[in-house]
Chain A
Amino acid sequence: MRLLTHNMLSSNIKGVTNGFPLRIEVEKVVEKQVEINHDFLMNIFPKIDWKAFFDASRVMGYVELPEEAPEPSVLESDLEFLRKFHHALLELHLEEGALVCPETGRKFPVNKGIPNMLLHEDEV
């Protein structure tokens, strides 16, 4: 699971008011390189909840991101930032671990990089 996905995921358990962001429990992180897609990064940047993204990157062991989100124009001018953004967003994978609902504490397992977000009968 990449942090892009994590930034999108929300606990949809019945009764939960705000299921975002899910807390990350790390057992295994893997880094996999992927080519930079500038258009995509420009498009996705405004959608990202930066605080959740920053916190998640720290939990995954990456400390290079700034705590404050820079202006979007920085993506054009600052190649270094772009590379870090890209790396944290798309190249860090939670292979094994869990995503934890912020309100209920319910753990959604992540195995072989795949989160299982299916709810039990009583959570629906």
Chain B
Amino acid sequence: MVFISLRAGRYIHRFWGKCTLSLDSFCVFVYPVTFSSMMEIKVKDGSSLCTLVPDGEPHIMQSGSVSEDLRCSSISVKSTPEIEKKYVHRVYDAIAPHFSSTRFAKWPKVAAFLESLPTGSLILDAGCGNGKYLGLTPSCYFIGCDISAPLIKICADKGHEVLVADAVNLPYRTNFGDAAISIAVLHHLSTEGRRKKAIEELVRVVKKGGLVLMTVWAVEQEDKSLLTKWTPLTEKYVEEWIGPGSPRVRGPSPFTLESIPETEENGSQAHAKDSNDSLTENMQQSMCLTPQNADDVFVSKHGMSQQEYFVPWHLPYHRAEVSGASSGALANCLARKDDKKGAVVYDRYYHVFGEGELERLVSGMDNAVIVDKFYDKSNWCIILEKTL
């Protein structure tokens, strides 16, 4: 596979610091977030942290002082970080009906997995979204849960048995289900600790011998042009979030401020793209979109694999008016307007997975084994069997 290599320097997320449409101000920021198992994080001498204070202005802090925001040892991995609240939960709540209308194609691999299960199975779908897979096999019984109440409402209206719950802390008794699925969910969890916890939960809630299917978006996208429409999050952000435990290579990171042209669309995998914006000359120049060789992966100029992204969702104006959440989102700078496309643009946080990453996450588990793993349509997929 050939991937695009970014050679034009760092890209930062463009943040509307004053809630205007001005492109003049860029700021590097980190969210005052909580994250798990970060006890080993040490702030390097000479580095500085930029945290977002309530009025939205960036605020530079010196290293050495332990920030309130960085206290980690006492924060549970089950606690929801700000970035997920803002760029996962609130977004899906706001876009739920529109999102649901685009989620209808059943992925053959998921369907095959479900159809392979014995009749009469109890199947748990954690992060069920609009309930696309609930009831797919009529001989089985499905219970779905999702953190988004609006999405769950859509499921309930279709007659499914669902509840509002957190994938990192499933409210289910241990060993109850026959199988579980987690389709395009784990990539919305912003720390490795939370991703591991969600996997442990999936295994916990199925019986011994039960199967768990997980699918996540891959770094290695089949449609490379999609990646150009996503906003990679800064290296500094990655450091703060992932910490020294990450297998990534770290290096010095001087920032180059580049403007990111607004050629975006909904980076969804499962439905046909209606318009494929061709890249502007400007963008091509700044991004040097020439694949180098077959071994290139999507890396920053410092050799780190870029895995943290904001992926846009375009909510058409007429849909936004109906949902009502968008005026608040615009006021709070969680969304921006694209008058050209007639849509409110929301960013969704993604940690896309690299090859082998799912395997690495489960390698430490003593109660599950991998029975299958594959790459399909730009997703990494894995099937576990609970052994104890």
Contact = CB atoms under 8 A, between A and B. Distances in A.
Interface residues on chain A, size class: 20 to 34
B173 A9 contact: yes
Contacts of B161: 1-2, 4-5
Contacts of A38: 120
A68 interface: no
Nearest to B79: A124
A43 B156 contact: no
Given A44-B141, A118-B165, A8 B173 contact: yes
Interface residues of B, number: 33
Interface string B333-354: 0000000000000000000000
B79 A114 contact: no
Binding site secondary structure of chain A: mixed
Most buried by B among A5, A40, A113, A118: A118
B169 interface: yes
Given A9-B172, A115-B163, A118-B166, A124 B78 contact: yes
Nearest to B155: A114
Interface string B116-129: 00111110000000
Contacts of B171: 9-12, 117
Nearest to B173: A10
Most buried by A among B149, B153, B176: B176
B164 interface: yes
A116 B139 contact: no
Nearest to A52: B173
A40 B143 CA distance: 13
A55 to B, nearest CB: 16
A4 B149 CA distance: 21
B265 to A, nearest CB: 32
Contacts of B207: 47
Given A4-B141, A47-B176, A117 B163 contact: yes
Interface in B169-183: 169-173, 176-178
Contacts of B185: none
Contact of B119 (A9, A14, A39, A119): A39
B357 to A, nearest CB: 26
Nearest to B168: A124
Contacts of A115: 163-164
B253 interface: no
Contacts of A74: none
B233 interface: no
B164 A114 contact: yes
A59 to B, nearest CB: 18
B214 interface: no
Interface in A40-61: 40-44, 47
A39 B78 CA distance: 36
B119 A114 contact: no
Contacts of B178: 43
Given A37-B120, A39-B119, A117 B164 contact: yes
A87 to B, nearest CB: 15
Given A114-B152, A114-B153, A124-B78, A8 B120 contact: no
20 contacts: A4-B141, A9-B171, A9-B173, A11-B171, A12-B170, A20-B173, A37-B139, A40-B139, A40-B141, A42-B120, A44-B141, A47-B122, A47-B176, A114-B163, A116-B149, A117-B164, A117-B165, A124-B76, A124-B78, A124-B169
Interface of B: 76, 78-79, 118-122, 139-141, 143, 145, 147, 149, 152-153, 156, 161-166, 169-173, 176-178, 207
